[in-house]
Amino acid sequence: MTDWPNLAELLLTEDAAVPIALVGAPLAAGSVTPGACDRAPALLRETLRRIGRYDVEIGRSIFTPVRDRGDVALDGLSIEEATGPIRDAIAQSVGAHALTLVAGGNNAVTRPAALALGLPLEKVGLITLDAHFDMRGLDDGLSNGNPVRALMNDGLPGKNIAQIGLASFANTAQMHRDALAAGNRVISVEEVRRDGIRAAVKQAIGHTAHCAALVIDCDIDVIDRAQMPGAPGARPGGMHVADFFWAVRTLASQHATKVIDLTEWDPSLDPTDLSALTAARWVAECIAGFESR
């Protein structure tokens, strides 16, 4: 123990029966905007030592160890080729731990994360914190722009999908119409500003309350670009980072939440440490939320 208790101390590289695990999914293939999202898991781990463990709001330190299960080997693989290895690695983690954190990689990792639960998709819920519907077409194959569309095509019903933070001038009318027609709960970033993040998360949890297990997709481009410059899809006018943190903690506190991913962080876009610190704080919020169950 040092005089600066930090998150790196909670990361265990040896096999251990602990309730939380971290799986790296450094997937860059198939990105609508090519970049270096594959560098994110390594920088995330490196930055954990800069995030303290004492939470002023609750008056105690977070304490739950996190088993680092390493990165899935994805070099040279397309999304189609990577889906199986990512799914299998997350499935092994889900079988051994109560909560699995998935460090992407681009947003295409969300589909294998949902498939990894091993449940019929009628029993799986998906809550996204994302500026985008992620419902581009499938005619040209899988990409980071269509994991929600692909999951719906797999059989995930709209009554099991809640999407928070959707941004104007970043989506298409067809995506919006398709999401509403399917029964997705759609909450724009303007609704979050108007009614508050608490109302948005409450609606999402209520919409998916019938699901046996939840996957939480944290596409970091939901955050305002000024606060998350390392996200290629982020734009001015996005979600305040404090609202993002609150939502992550609250969603991690749900007993049904089995997997939480962090996607679309490209370290090459941010010459400062702002994006890395935001991503590392995501880990702290996930742990704090889990400990409040």
For the stretch 4-28, pLDDT in tens is 899 999 999 998 899 999 999 999 9
CA distance 134 to 199: 23
pLDDT at 3 exceeding the cut of 90? no
Band the pLDDT of 67: cuts 50, 70, 90.
very high
Lowest mean pLDDT among 3-17, 35-49, 164-178: 3-17
pLDDT, tens only, 177-220: 999 999 999 999 999 999 999 999 999 999 999 999 999 999 99
Band the pLDDT of 2: cuts 50, 70, 90.
low
CATH number of the CATH domain containing 100: 3.40.800.10
Six-digit token string for 247: 């939502």
- Cα Rg for the chain, rounded, in angstroms? 17
Is residue 2 in a domain? no
Burial of 187 (0-12, 13-18, 19+ CB in 10 A): buried
Structural domain span for residue 193:
7-291
Is residue 236 in a domain? yes
pLDDT at 86 exceeding the cut of 80? yes
Mean pLDDT of 224-245: 97
Is residue 267 in a domain? yes
Average pLDDT, the chain: 97
Is residue 1 in a domain? no
pLDDT at 1 exceeding the cut of 60? no
In sequence order, what DSSP letters do the residues of 55-69 get, joined into one string? Answer: ETTTTEE----EEEE
pLDDT, tens only, 116-165: 999 999 999 999 999 999 999 999 999 999 999 999 999 999 999 999 99
The closest alpha carbon to 251, from 207, 210, 215, belongs to 215
Residue 170 backbone dihedrals phi, psi, to 5 degrees: -135, 5
Is residue 231 in a domain? yes
pTM to 2 decimals? 0.97
pLDDT for res 50: 97
Mean pLDDT of 226-238: 97
pLDDT for res 9: 97
Band the pLDDT of 174: cuts 50, 70, 90.
very high
Is residue 104 in a domain? yes
The closest alpha carbon to 25, from 11, 9, 8, 42, belongs to 42
3 state DSSP class of 172: coil
User: Number of structural domains, the chain?
Assistant: 1
